[in-house]
Amino acid sequence: MPIAGYIVDFAAPACKVIVELDGSQHGEGPGMKAGIERDSRLFELGWKVLRFWNPDVMNELDGVCRRVLEACGREDRA
């Protein structure tokens, strides 16, 4: 879903939450810098950006879902 010229992995427009799934390219160097700049811009526009490492999604899915629900102001349903 494009938001302010950025393609995001997942977005919940009703609660203005973006979920990004990050691989190793986001951990250092240009990828990390670009991610910080992008997150800052989206924050300025009123969005909350949640970033999760790919292994966390694979191994800790309940915790990831819980954090997304909390960010949306929803009760824990995970």
Structural domain total, the chain:
1
Q: CA 7 → CA 1, 2, 18, 61, distances in Å? A: 6, 4, 10, 23
Domain that holds residue 14: 2-71
Label residue 22 exposed, middle or buried (CB < 10 Å: 0-12, 13-18, 19+).
middle
**Token couple for 8:** 């995001």
What's the pLDDT score for residue 29?
Answer: 63
Residue 66 CA, chain-centre distance (Å), reads 13
DSSP state, residue 21: E
What's the pLDDT score for residue 22?
Answer: 84
Residue bearing the bigger pLDDT, 38 or 26: 38
Q: CA 41 → CA 4, 50, 76, 78, distances in Å? A: 8, 14, 29, 30
What's the pLDDT score for residue 32?
Answer: 74
Q: pLDDT band at residue 75, thresholds of 50, 70 and 90? A: low
User: For residue 78, is it within any domain?
Assistant: no
User: For residue 77, is it within any domain?
Assistant: no
User: For residue 35, is it within any domain?
Assistant: yes
User: For residue 15, is it within any domain?
Assistant: yes
